[in-house]
Amino acid sequence: MLLQRILTALVLAPLTILIIMLAPTGIFGAIVALAFLGAWWEWAKLSGLTNRSARMALMAVAAIVFGLLWLVQGSAWTPWLLAAGVAWWVVACWWLRHFAFGAAPTRENLALKLIAGAFVIFPTWVALTSIHARLPHGHWWTLLALLIVWASDIGAYFSGRTFGKRKLAPQISPGKTWAGAYGAMVAGVLIADIGGWLLGVRGSSLLALSVLAAITVAISIVGDLLESLMKRHAQVKDSGSIFPGHGGLMDRLDSVFAALPVFAAGLLLLDI
């Protein structure tokens, strides 16, 4: 399984980096929207929407929303949309503490989870496109944002395997440990500091970036746990099977969905 994960990552990572660095923001946003539509399909299925036609209709609505979001991209709406994304992940922390909430397969819980999915997916698209379009070095800042998440995932994996004993959230995801969380934090902040330095961030701004990276990593773990909770409610192991050894799109993007609105909002507030 580890070999499969490594081989898949070796294909996906260079492709993602090429898209980030070479595509203009319009094309980048369209590609991200397509990937997020796939994640939206999986989220709807995890939520309990079993009717395929209903999921197709939901995909059409989501595509229209992405188009509308592009029309307001870079406007005064952007901070508010990012704030909505950040606020959602604060609510998600409460949900994780009350992990049985919404577990029953009722219409009300289906509607609740679909609304939650909107707050998971759409603010992240706004975050990615807003970072990518920022001047100067927007493409590099986008890459750094994702590298922070990727590094934290790798740090969590190896730290957890080596030192992990005390469980982080055994009722939701028994494999996650506090040692893994600490490893994620160290790796994510280290990458943020290196990347920030290379992008010309110095002094107190670099310290602020370190704090932002730490918060970003912490929230990325919340995103990972929330998707684990959704899978536990749906009684499935993976959100999909598109990536060998990695599962579905939601399995690969869960941390990104949580981290990016926080990171983008932090960059905006800190004016880095």
Q: pLDDT tens for residues 74-131?
A: 899 999 999 999 999 999 999 999 999 999 999 999 999 999 999 999 999 999 999 9
Whole-model pTM: value is 0.93
| 93 phi/psi in degrees, rounded to 5 | -60, -40
Q: For residues 122 and 69, is the Cβ–Cβ distance under 8 A?
A: yes
**Signed CA dihedral, 97, 98, 103, 108: sign only:** negative
Please tell me the chain's helix, strand, coil percentages from 3-state DSSP, rounded to the nearest 5.
80, 5, 20
Positive or negative torsion for Cα 84, 16, 192, 75: negative
Count how many domains the chain has: 1
Q: What is the arithmetic mean of pLDDT over 10-25?
A: 92
Mean residue pLDDT across the chain: 93
Helix (H, G, I), strand (E, B) or coil at 125: helix
DSSP-H helix ranges across 199-248: 203-234
The tens digit of pLDDT for each residue in 220-242 reads: 999 999 999 999 999 998 888 77
Q: What angle do CA 1, 259, 240 make, to 5 degrees?
A: 40
Closest to 102 (Cα-Cα) out of 113, 117, 94: 113
Q: What pLDDT, on the 0 to 100 scale, is given for residue 1?
A: 59
Token representation of residue 146: 């994702």
- The C-alpha atoms of residue 34 and residue 85 are separated, in whole angstroms, by 20
CB 58 within 8 A of CB 114: yes
Residue type present at position 193: D
Round to whole Å and give the CA distance between 195 and 45.
Answer: 37
Question: What tokens were used for 186?
Answer: 């160290």
Structural domain harbouring 151: 2-270
* 246 band by pLDDT with thresholds 50, 70 and 90: low
Structure tokens at 211: 């704090």
Closest CA to 168 of 159, 179, 177: 177
Do residues 17 and 144 lie in contact, with contact meaning Cβ atoms separated by under 8 Å? no
Q: How confident is the model at residue 165 (pLDDT cuts 50, 70, 90)?
A: confident
Biggest CA pair distance of the chain: 54
Do residues 111 and 4 lie in contact, with contact meaning Cβ atoms separated by under 8 Å?
no
Q: Which residues neighbour 6 within 8 Å (Cβ) at sequence distance 6 or greater? A: none
- The total of other beta-carbon atoms located within 10 Å of residue 5's CB is 15
Q: 77 by DSSP, 3-state: which? A: helix
Number of Cα atoms under 13 Å in the Cβ half of residue 110: 12
